[in-house]
């Protein structure tokens, strides 16, 4: 079956531009996570959705970062006024039920480069 998909796979933005990154989770998955992975590092938690509710956004680095999942399926991570330090791979993951014990299924990521 289809896994988690993300688009675009690569995005180049000029500093100050806004970007939108899309995540299509596995159909029916309740939980959705966003992570930021800098070069040579492990993924860092950004935010968590349970269906359409954003239950944890403690990892969002600034108010320039905004995520939504309005219908409980597709999610969008938006970054406003991009800065060079935003350059990273953005990973999306979904899991079937609650977040605690479920395995997360990861997408391939979107590599964002801010010039």
Among 17, 51, 59, 68, binds other proteins (CB under 8 A): 59
| 8 Cβ neighbours under 8 A, 6+ residues apart | 21, 110
Is residue 97 part of the contact set for other proteins (CB under 8 A)? Answer: no
Cβ nearer to other proteins, comparing 14 with 42: 42
Query: Does residue 104 contact residue 2 with C-beta atoms inside 8 Å?
Result: no
H helices present in 42-88, as ranges: none
Instruction: Residue 109: count other Cβ atoms within 10 Å of its Cβ.
Output: 20
Identified binder of other proteins from the candidate list 25, 65, 107, 114, rule CB under 8 A: 107
106 belongs to the binding site for other proteins (CB under 8 A): yes
Question: Does position 4 bind other proteins by CB under 8 A?
Answer: yes
Answer yes or no whether residue 104 interacts with other proteins by CB under 8 A.
yes
**Which member of 21, 23, 77, 91 binds other proteins (CB under 8 A)?**
91
Smallest distance from other proteins to CB 10, Å: 12
Cα distance between the two ends of the chain: 37
Q: Report which of 81, 84, 88 is spatially closest to residue 38, judged by C-alpha positions.
A: 88
Q: Are 3 and 26 a contacting pair, CB within 8 Å?
A: yes
Residues lying near other proteins in the complex (CB under 8 A) are found at 3-4, 33, 35, 40-45, 48, 55-56, 58-59, 91, 93, 98-101, 103-109
């Amino acid at each position: 079956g289809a896994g988690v998909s993300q688009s675009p796979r690569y995005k180049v933005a000029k500093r100050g531009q806004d970007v939108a990154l899309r995540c299509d989770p596995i159909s029916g998955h309740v939980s959705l996570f966003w992570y930021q992975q800098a070069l040579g590092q492990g993924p860092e938690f950004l935010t968590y959705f349970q269906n359409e509710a954003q239950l944890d956004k403690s990892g969002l680095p600034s108010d320039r970062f905004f995520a939504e999942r309005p219908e409980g399926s597709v999610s969008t991570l938006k970054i406003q006024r991009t800065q060079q330090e935003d350059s990273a791979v953005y990973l999306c993951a979904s899991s079937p039920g609650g977040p605690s014990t479920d395995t997360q299924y990861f997408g391939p990521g979107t590599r964002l480069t801010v010039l």
